[in-house]
Amino acid sequence: MKKLIALVLALALCLGMASFAAADDAKVKVGIINLDPSESGYREANVNDLHKVFTEENGYDASFVTAPTADKQLDAFNTFVNEGVDYILVSAAETTGWDEALAAAQEAGIGVFLFDRMIDCDPSLYLAAVVSDMTKEGETAVAWLESLNLEEYNILHIQGQMGSDAQIGRSTPLAEKAAADDKWTIVAEGTGGDSWSEDEARKIAEAAINEGKSFNIVYAENDGMARGVVAALDAAGITHGVEGDVKIMGFDCNKWALRLLLAGEWNYDGQCSPFQAEVIDGMIKTLKAGGQIEGLNEKNQYINEEKGFDATTITEDDVNTYGLGE
């Protein structure tokens, strides 16, 4: 009896191995390491997008790991290397400390893609990095402002978490333009802090209004903080939007923010695209077909296309296609 059970078990094991092997042949094994979806609407959309693209129907055997810190991400990375997946996709919590792990993956013949966040290392350690260029987002927004041809640009500037990529990328082009052009003045500046807080933004705007500073542009580095400023404007009876006195600019393209654009209450929203999955999917399929990944710069980066929406031209379709969250 015991022998019979052992035989059955052994058979089952063999069958299991066989089925695994079969799966290996047909499907591309990918390990995807991301940040926590609760981090922001951006991250949520990013995680959902990856889940939508890397499916079994699309020919993938994908494992997903979300971790908020670099050490947990590195653990997951090493596990994937040991498992022997075909590709690893990483959005790193920290830019440093990855060299060893990346080298180990390369030695094991595993291709690594970076998405959304860069890692400080030799570009040869990864196949491609699909990222957003935050400075381009700032430049696009400043170019839009310029195209309005206003007599004067008096700007209330609400910054994000100081030192973050997004803050630097969105602040720098504005600061440079304000320094170069006499018509451009930053009348008040403040930060929403490490959490990009709406309420901090509201307080900064309130203080500027109380001090009698007059501004005709609000350049807020994310949608939430723009909302905070608008609450202060509403309370003080300052009109805003397409028909109003003050132009409202936000970033991130949350669905609710784009709806406010559509309603004419805000003027501009800059996109920071969380959709990199399809690009990477395309690259993997090209590699599988024996091709080469194209369109990369000298740092092996693929810069995502990014849009800026204007309240006067945005459509319902744009809101549904590009809006994040609900």
For 210, residues 6+ apart whose C-beta sits below 8 A from its C-beta are none
Taking every pair of Cα atoms in the chain, the longest distance, rounded to a whole number of angstroms, is 93
- Please name the amino acid found at residue 255: K
Q: How far apart are CB 237 and another protein at their closest, in Å? A: 5
Asked if 239 touches another protein (CB under 8 A), the answer is: yes
Asked if 264 touches another protein (CB under 8 A), the answer is: no
Residue 299 CA to its chain's centroid (Å): 19
Q: Is 5 within 8 Å of 289 (Cβ atoms)?
A: no
Q: How far apart are CB 262 and another protein at their closest, in Å? A: 14
Give the total of residues touching another protein (CB under 8 A): 44
Asked if 59 touches another protein (CB under 8 A), the answer is: no
The C-alpha atoms of residue 260 and residue 78 are separated, in whole angstroms, by 44
Helix or strand (DSSP H, E) at 56: none
Asked if 116 touches another protein (CB under 8 A), the answer is: no
The C-alpha atoms of residue 114 and residue 98 are separated, in whole angstroms, by 12
Q: Which of 170, 177, 227, 247 binds another protein (CB under 8 A)?
A: 227
Q: Is 226 within 8 Å of 257 (Cβ atoms)?
A: yes
Asked if 310 touches another protein (CB under 8 A), the answer is: no
Q: Which is nearer to another protein, 31 or 192 (CB)?
A: 192
Asked if 224 touches another protein (CB under 8 A), the answer is: yes
Residue 26 CA to its chain's centroid (Å): 31
The C-alpha atoms of residue 221 and residue 165 are separated, in whole angstroms, by 12
Asked if 326 touches another protein (CB under 8 A), the answer is: yes
Residues of span 138-167 touching another protein by CB under 8 A: 159, 162
> Which tokens is 137 given?
């987002």
Q: Which of 190, 242, 262, 300 binds another protein (CB under 8 A)?
A: 190
Asked if 273 touches another protein (CB under 8 A), the answer is: no
> Contact positions toward another protein, by CB under 8 A?
38-41, 44, 159, 162, 188-193, 195-200, 202-204, 206-207, 209-212, 224, 227-228, 231, 233-239, 254, 256, 324-326
